[in-house]
Protein backbone atom coordinates (compact mmCIF):
# COMPACT_ATOMS: atom_id res chain seq x y z
CA UNK A 1 0.00 0.00 0.00
CA UNK A 2 1.22 3.51 -0.82
CA UNK A 3 2.52 5.87 1.86
CA UNK A 4 -0.35 8.33 1.63
CA UNK A 5 1.01 10.61 4.35
CA UNK A 6 3.97 11.32 2.06
CA UNK A 7 1.83 11.64 -1.06
CA UNK A 8 -0.40 14.25 0.58
CA UNK A 9 2.33 16.19 2.42
CA UNK A 10 2.02 19.95 1.91
CA UNK A 11 4.46 21.68 -0.42
CA UNK A 12 6.22 24.84 0.72
CA UNK A 13 5.97 26.43 -2.71
CA UNK A 14 3.66 26.19 -5.71
CA UNK A 15 4.44 26.36 -9.43
CA UNK A 16 2.47 27.00 -12.60
CA UNK A 17 0.22 24.06 -13.49
CA UNK A 18 -0.50 25.23 -17.02
CA UNK A 19 2.73 24.32 -18.78
CA UNK A 20 2.08 22.19 -21.87
CA UNK A 21 2.68 18.50 -21.31
CA UNK A 22 4.18 16.55 -24.23
CA UNK A 23 1.54 15.99 -26.91
CA UNK A 24 -0.74 18.73 -25.55
CA UNK A 25 -1.66 22.07 -27.11
CA UNK A 26 -4.76 24.14 -27.77
CA UNK A 27 -7.15 21.85 -29.63
CA UNK A 28 -5.91 18.61 -28.05
CA UNK A 29 -8.66 16.21 -27.01
CA UNK A 30 -8.01 13.32 -24.65
CA UNK A 31 -9.96 10.31 -23.35
CA UNK A 32 -9.82 9.57 -19.62
CA UNK A 33 -11.70 8.06 -16.71
CA UNK A 34 -12.77 10.52 -14.02
CA UNK A 35 -15.14 10.69 -11.08
CA UNK A 36 -17.14 13.88 -11.50
CA UNK A 37 -18.56 15.79 -8.53
CA UNK A 38 -21.72 17.42 -9.88
CA UNK A 39 -23.95 15.05 -7.85
CA UNK A 40 -22.04 15.54 -4.57
CA UNK A 41 -23.52 18.59 -2.79
CA UNK A 42 -21.30 18.37 0.28
CA UNK A 43 -18.14 18.22 -1.83
CA UNK A 44 -19.35 21.21 -3.83
CA UNK A 45 -20.02 23.16 -0.64
CA UNK A 46 -16.58 22.33 0.74
CA UNK A 47 -14.89 23.37 -2.50
CA UNK A 48 -16.79 26.67 -2.44
CA UNK A 49 -15.67 27.24 1.14
CA UNK A 50 -12.02 26.82 0.25
CA UNK A 51 -12.33 28.76 -3.01
CA UNK A 52 -13.74 31.70 -1.05
CA UNK A 53 -10.90 31.45 1.44
CA UNK A 54 -8.23 31.89 -1.26
CA UNK A 55 -10.20 34.19 -3.56
CA UNK A 56 -7.83 37.13 -3.00
CA UNK A 57 -4.71 35.12 -3.83
CA UNK A 58 -3.88 36.02 -7.41
CA UNK A 59 -1.66 33.05 -8.19
CA UNK A 60 -4.55 30.58 -8.12
CA UNK A 61 -7.18 29.61 -10.71
CA UNK A 62 -10.28 28.40 -8.81
CA UNK A 63 -12.08 25.44 -10.37
CA UNK A 64 -15.82 26.02 -10.97
CA UNK A 65 -18.30 23.50 -9.61
CA UNK A 66 -19.01 21.98 -13.02
CA UNK A 67 -15.34 21.05 -13.57
CA UNK A 68 -14.56 19.55 -10.16
CA UNK A 69 -13.37 15.98 -10.58
CA UNK A 70 -11.12 13.18 -9.43
CA UNK A 71 -8.73 12.04 -12.13
CA UNK A 72 -8.34 8.26 -12.25
CA UNK A 73 -6.73 7.10 -15.48
CA UNK A 74 -5.97 8.39 -18.94
CA UNK A 75 -6.55 6.34 -22.08
CA UNK A 76 -4.99 8.43 -24.83
CA UNK A 77 -5.38 11.20 -27.38
CA UNK A 78 -8.57 11.10 -29.43
CA UNK A 79 -6.72 10.87 -32.74
CA UNK A 80 -4.89 7.74 -31.54
CA UNK A 81 -7.95 5.73 -30.50
CA UNK A 82 -10.67 4.73 -32.96
CA UNK A 83 -14.31 4.33 -31.98
CA UNK A 84 -14.20 0.53 -32.01
CA UNK A 85 -11.20 0.46 -29.68
CA UNK A 86 -12.81 2.96 -27.32
CA UNK A 87 -16.01 0.90 -27.24
CA UNK A 88 -14.01 -2.21 -26.40
CA UNK A 89 -12.15 -0.39 -23.63
CA UNK A 90 -15.48 0.75 -22.19
CA UNK A 91 -16.90 -2.78 -22.23
CA UNK A 92 -13.87 -4.32 -20.56
CA UNK A 93 -13.58 -1.58 -17.94
CA UNK A 94 -17.30 -1.95 -17.16
CA UNK A 95 -16.78 -5.68 -16.63
CA UNK A 96 -14.03 -4.95 -14.12
CA UNK A 97 -15.91 -2.19 -12.31
CA UNK A 98 -19.13 -4.16 -11.88
CA UNK A 99 -17.43 -6.21 -9.15
CA UNK A 100 -16.64 -3.10 -7.07
CA UNK A 101 -19.16 -1.57 -4.68
CA UNK A 102 -19.98 2.15 -4.47
CA UNK A 103 -17.59 4.18 -2.32
CA UNK A 104 -18.71 6.33 0.58
CA UNK A 105 -15.96 8.65 1.76
CA UNK A 106 -15.36 12.05 3.32
CA UNK A 107 -13.20 15.14 2.82
CA UNK A 108 -12.17 17.86 5.25
CA UNK A 109 -8.67 19.35 5.20
CA UNK A 110 -7.34 20.91 2.00
CA UNK A 111 -3.73 20.15 1.13
CA UNK A 112 -1.21 22.10 -0.93
CA UNK A 113 0.26 20.11 -3.81
CA UNK A 114 2.94 21.49 -6.07
CA UNK A 115 0.49 22.74 -8.70
CA UNK A 116 -2.96 22.63 -7.05
CA UNK A 117 -4.98 22.84 -3.86
CA UNK A 118 -6.47 19.41 -3.30
CA UNK A 119 -9.00 17.56 -1.16
CA UNK A 120 -7.81 14.04 -0.30
CA UNK A 121 -10.50 11.45 0.46
CA UNK A 122 -10.47 9.78 3.85
CA UNK A 123 -9.84 6.38 2.23
CA UNK A 124 -7.60 6.89 -0.81
CA UNK A 125 -6.92 3.17 -1.19
CA UNK A 126 -10.58 2.60 -2.19
CA UNK A 127 -10.03 4.84 -5.22
CA UNK A 128 -6.69 3.22 -5.97
CA UNK A 129 -8.58 -0.08 -6.20
CA UNK A 130 -10.99 1.47 -8.72
CA UNK A 131 -8.03 2.75 -10.72
CA UNK A 132 -6.41 -0.69 -10.73
CA UNK A 133 -9.64 -2.17 -12.08
CA UNK A 134 -9.77 0.47 -14.82
CA UNK A 135 -6.15 -0.19 -15.73
CA UNK A 136 -6.86 -3.92 -15.91
CA UNK A 137 -9.83 -3.27 -18.21
CA UNK A 138 -7.76 -1.06 -20.51
CA UNK A 139 -5.08 -3.72 -20.64
CA UNK A 140 -7.72 -6.36 -21.43
CA UNK A 141 -8.84 -4.28 -24.40
CA UNK A 142 -5.60 -2.78 -25.72
CA UNK A 143 -2.92 -5.14 -24.45
CA UNK A 144 -1.31 -2.39 -22.35
CA UNK A 145 -2.22 0.59 -20.20
CA UNK A 146 -0.68 4.06 -20.43
CA UNK A 147 0.73 5.97 -17.45
CA UNK A 148 2.49 4.51 -14.46
CA UNK A 149 0.58 2.58 -11.82
CA UNK A 150 2.80 4.10 -9.13
CA UNK A 151 2.32 7.45 -7.41
CA UNK A 152 -1.44 7.68 -7.78
CA UNK A 153 -2.89 10.18 -5.31
CA UNK A 154 -6.69 10.27 -5.23
CA UNK A 155 -7.94 13.83 -4.81
CA UNK A 156 -10.40 16.47 -5.90
CA UNK A 157 -8.63 19.68 -6.87
CA UNK A 158 -10.11 23.01 -5.73
CA UNK A 159 -7.76 25.43 -7.51
CA UNK A 160 -4.76 25.27 -9.83
CA UNK A 161 -1.62 27.32 -9.43
CA UNK A 162 -0.89 29.67 -12.31
CA UNK A 163 2.41 31.11 -11.05
CA UNK A 164 5.24 30.44 -8.65
CA UNK A 165 4.21 31.26 -5.08
CA UNK A 166 5.17 30.73 -1.48
CA UNK A 167 2.59 28.48 0.16
CA UNK A 168 2.60 30.00 3.67
CA UNK A 169 -0.13 32.56 2.95
CA UNK A 170 -2.23 29.95 1.18
CA UNK A 171 -1.86 27.50 4.06
CA UNK A 172 -2.98 30.13 6.54
CA UNK A 173 -6.09 30.93 4.48
CA UNK A 174 -7.00 27.25 4.14
CA UNK A 175 -6.53 26.66 7.86
CA UNK A 176 -8.89 29.51 8.74
CA UNK A 177 -11.55 28.01 6.46
CA UNK A 178 -11.22 24.36 7.51
CA UNK A 179 -14.61 23.06 8.73
CA UNK A 180 -15.02 21.29 12.05
CA UNK A 181 -16.84 18.36 10.45
CA UNK A 182 -16.07 16.41 7.28
CA UNK A 183 -18.08 16.50 4.05
CA UNK A 184 -19.33 13.15 2.81
CA UNK A 185 -19.82 11.71 -0.66
CA UNK A 186 -21.05 8.44 -2.12
CA UNK A 187 -19.80 7.52 -5.57
CA UNK A 188 -21.80 5.03 -7.60
CA UNK A 189 -20.20 5.48 -11.02
CA UNK A 190 -17.09 6.38 -12.98
CA UNK A 191 -17.21 8.51 -16.12
CA UNK A 192 -15.47 8.08 -19.44
CA UNK A 193 -14.81 11.62 -20.67
CA UNK A 194 -13.37 13.47 -23.65
CA UNK A 195 -11.43 16.40 -22.18
CA UNK A 196 -9.38 19.44 -23.15
CA UNK A 197 -7.62 22.36 -21.47
CA UNK A 198 -8.01 25.04 -24.13
CA UNK A 199 -9.17 27.69 -21.63
CA UNK A 200 -6.74 27.06 -18.76
CA UNK A 201 -9.19 24.68 -17.16
CA UNK A 202 -9.98 20.98 -17.66
CA UNK A 203 -13.33 20.79 -19.42
CA UNK A 204 -15.02 17.74 -20.90
CA UNK A 205 -17.94 15.94 -22.44
CA UNK A 206 -19.11 12.77 -20.72
CA UNK A 207 -19.24 9.84 -23.13
CA UNK A 208 -20.52 7.17 -20.75
CA UNK A 209 -21.01 6.60 -17.02
CA UNK A 210 -20.12 3.11 -15.79
CA UNK A 211 -21.64 1.95 -12.49
CA UNK A 212 -19.89 0.61 -9.43
CA UNK A 213 -22.50 -2.04 -8.78
CA UNK A 214 -20.74 -4.50 -6.50
CA UNK A 215 -22.30 -7.44 -8.32
Residue 35's nearest CA partner among 190, 200, 212, 206 is 190
pTM of the predicted structure, to 2 decimals? 0.95
pLDDT in tens, 171-207: 999 999 999 999 999 999 999 999 999 999 999 999 9
pLDDT in tens, 81-123: 999 999 999 999 999 999 999 999 999 999 999 999 999 999 9
Instruction: Name the 3-class secondary structure at 214.
Output: coil
Tell me, what's the pLDDT at 1?
62
C-alpha distances in angstroms, 172 versus 54, 120, 144? 10, 18, 44
Q: What is the CATH number of domain 4-18+28-211?
A: 3.90.1140.10
CB distance 89 to 141 below 8 Å: yes
CB distance 73 to 33 below 8 Å: yes
CB distance 47 to 119 below 8 Å: yes
Tell me, what's the pLDDT at 3?
79
> Average pLDDT of 70-86?
97
Tell me, what's the pLDDT at 206?
98
Amino acid sequence: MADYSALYADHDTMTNHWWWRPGWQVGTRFYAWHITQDDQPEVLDLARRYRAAVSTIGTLDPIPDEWLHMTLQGIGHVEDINVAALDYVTIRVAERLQTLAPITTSYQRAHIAGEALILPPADPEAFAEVRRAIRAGITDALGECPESEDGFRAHVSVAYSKADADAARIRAALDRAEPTAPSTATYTQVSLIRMHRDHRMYEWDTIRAVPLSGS
